[in-house]
Amino acid sequence: MIQFVKLTALTCCHTIAYMPSHTTLLKYLTECNLGSRRKLADAIREGRVQVNGSIAENFKQAIDPAKDHITFDNQPVNRIETTVCLMLNKPAGVITTTSDEIHRKTVLDLIPEQYSSLRLYPVGRLDKDSTGLLLLTNDGQLTYQLTHPKFEHEKEYLVAIKGSLKHSEKQKLQKGIDLSDGKTYPTVIRTLRNRYPFNYSITIHEGRKRQIKRMFEELGHPIFALRRIRMGKLRLGNLKEGEVRELSIAEIDSLL
């Protein structure tokens, strides 16, 4: 069941299926995304972590997350047995990753504070300059079903190019384009009216790196704006750029 999670305690996103019965204290706290390994080790040394009411002995102390009661700065550290799936309208200039070595803005920087302790990961990718519908979840099975090619989930994008496609070029896109990593699957392409700056819609079933941009570049039409508006039956709708909302159970079911 998909639920809104109120963070009345420090939380860890591992389900029973993923959490080992025994682990070390530092590994557990790190997996709960409560800080860097170094900072958490310092916190343990400073006596800020307790196990079953007693100050933790050391960061290698063995614990059983299913049985032991652990606190960090007097706040309980709990597992979450529910999953969360968020829809983000990704703005341009934001990186689709959980961290960046050169400190560029990532999609996790846009997530509301109440979700900050959950180990959310993007479902698939959008290029830095691409915008639109991006899902983030802590459900590995959901991510697998939405990204593996064998499930053939439709993804619809709005495309902005200079000029217009010839009829023969539209046919090539529809039948498949020969790229360096193989021929693309057939697509659906439509001409748009009154959707400035976008003049085409394209629907694909694949998710190769920079696929749509490469397809149009192969025809001599570089894309200067790209926005994803649909995954399966799930539509971006009126969600504003940079905003996030949680998916309902019905929306998750429609995806699967």
What's the rounded Cα separation, in Å, for the pair 84 and 97? 18
Q: What is the pLDDT of residue 79?
A: 57
Residues 170 and 201 in one domain: yes
Q: What is the pLDDT of residue 2?
A: 36
Residues 90 and 30 in one domain: no
Residues 123 and 239 in one domain: yes
- Residue 166 belongs to a domain with what CATH number? 3.30.70.1560
User: Which residue, 79, 96, 131, sits at the end of a domain?
Assistant: 79
Whether residue 28 lies inside any domain: the answer is yes
Share of the chain above pLDDT 90, in %: 57
- Residue 102 belongs to a domain with what CATH number? 3.30.70.580
Whether residue 71 lies inside any domain: the answer is yes
Give me the catalytic one of 68, 73, 127, 253: 127
Whether residue 5 lies inside any domain: the answer is no
pTM of the shown model: 0.69
Q: pLDDT-derived band of residue 3, with 50, 70 and 90 as boundaries?
A: very low
Q: What is the pLDDT of residues 195-208, one digit of tens each?
A: 999 999 999 998 88
CA 62 to chain centre: 32
How many domains, in total, are found in the chain?
3
Whether residue 110 lies inside any domain: the answer is yes
Domain that holds residue 199: 154-231
Q: What is the pLDDT of residue 7?
A: 40
Instruction: Report the mean per-residue pLDDT for the chain.
Output: 86
Does the active-site annotation cover 178?
no
Residues 67 and 92 in one domain: no
Cβ atoms of 163 and 191 within 8 Å: the answer is no
